[in-house]
């Protein structure tokens, strides 16, 4: 018992040790128009970091710049566009100089199209993979030389859905891919002093979990199904899917985004950052423990928590 207490005390002590000179460290964050990226940019800016916030839209960049200190820089970045990434590398290189890039936070993402697997087309999957996985890989590889200069940090935003698949579409596939890419990158970059952290949020209220957008997209998928496929699911199936979405988002979604951004901040500022960060009560107490159980138990809980009536 005393040994466990000592381990806990020393673990907390090491966990609280921070790196020095925040004001001399540059951090690039993708997906800063809203949500986690927007909040993290403001959070790190207040801590004194030289934040470079990448936004998809002019409005997102303008709104963020007006809410932060003059130290924070914004740039436009589409992670699916190689030319856009190239311009971002040139901008960041000029900002960081020989000091290099301390932190890269791959936060940009999208969730839709998402729905029952049979409703999804290949192009629907590709749209999500291009942002959530290929974009993460492309951005990371382009910025590795700058990260190596600073012996910096890569923080990749995965998801509990990278541990436990809950639906069809590209989202779960992409987040499982982010987990695998991050593990490979961490092991390959160890000898260069680059640390890689994985953020695994549960369900949070962001643009990615907006019920109206998800429902509209599922309606689009349903409307494009052949009539014989609709008949095989039954008339009530689509409405039950809508009920499932409202139920899960209403019960499980948290509005406290700082639970995620605090994990990101720790991954960037801790002297001994963790490999993985579970954010949110549902991630810690439900989804991640569930991911270690046998598949038949996972399937049972999936049906229990997200009940959808039998097809007609």
**Tens of pLDDT along 47-85?**
999 999 999 999 999 999 999 999 999 999 999 999 999
Give residue 216's region: left, alpha or beta (phi > 0; psi -120 to 50): alpha
Q: 114 pLDDT exceeds 90?
A: no
Q: What is the pLDDT of residue 12?
A: 62
Active site annotation includes 1: no
pLDDT class for 252, splitting at 50, 70, 90?
confident
Name the more confident of 177 and 203.
177
Distance, first Cα to last Cα, the chain: 57
Rounded CA-CA distance 201/254 in Å is: 10
Q: 305 pLDDT exceeds 90?
A: no
Name the more confident of 8 and 15.
15
Span 1-209+255-305: which CATH code? 3.40.50.720
pLDDT class for 150, splitting at 50, 70, 90?
very high
Q: What is the pLDDT of residue 89?
A: 98
Catalytic member of 1, 171, 191, 233: 171
In this prediction the pTM is 0.89
């Amino acid at each position: 018992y005393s040994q466990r207490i000592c381990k806990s005390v020393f673990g907390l002590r090491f966990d609280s040790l921070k790196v020095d000179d925040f004001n001399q460290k540059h951090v690039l964050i993708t997906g800063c128009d809203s949500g986690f990226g927007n909040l993290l940019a403001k959070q790190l800016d207040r801590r004194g970091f030289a934040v470079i916030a990448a936004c998809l839209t002019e409005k997102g960049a303008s709104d963020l710049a007006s809410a932060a200190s003059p130290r924070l820089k914004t740039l436009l970045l589409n992670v699916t566009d190689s030319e856009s990434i190239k311009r971002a590398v040139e901008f960041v290189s000029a900002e960081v100089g020989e000091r290099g890039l301390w932190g890269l936070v791959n936060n940009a993402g999208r969730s839709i199209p998402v729905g029952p697997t049979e409703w999804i087309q290949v192009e629907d999957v590709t749209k999500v993979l291009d942002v959530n996985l290929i974009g993460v890989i492309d951005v990371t590889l382009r910025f590795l030389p700058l990260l190596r200069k600073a012996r910096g940090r890569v923080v990749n935003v995965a998801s509990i859905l990278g541990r436990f698949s809950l639906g069809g579409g590209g989202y779960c596939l992409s987040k499982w891919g982010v987990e695998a890419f991050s593990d490979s990158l961490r092991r390959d970059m160890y000898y260069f002093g680059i640390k890689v952290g994985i953020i695994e949020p549960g369900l949070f209220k962001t643009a990615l979990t907006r019920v109206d957008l998800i429902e509209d997209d599922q309606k689009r998928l349903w409307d494009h199904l052949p009539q014989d496929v609709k008949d095989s699911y039954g008339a009530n199936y689509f409405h039950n899917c809508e009920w499932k979405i409202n139920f899960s988002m209403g019960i499980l979604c948290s509005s406290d985004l700082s639970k995620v951004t605090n994990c990101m901040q720790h991954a960037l500022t801790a002297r001994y950052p963790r490999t993985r960060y579970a954010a949110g009560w549902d991630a810690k107490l439900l989804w991640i423990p569930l991911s270690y159980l046998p598949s038949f138990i996972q399937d049972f809980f999936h049906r229990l928590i997200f009940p959808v009536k039998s097809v007609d």
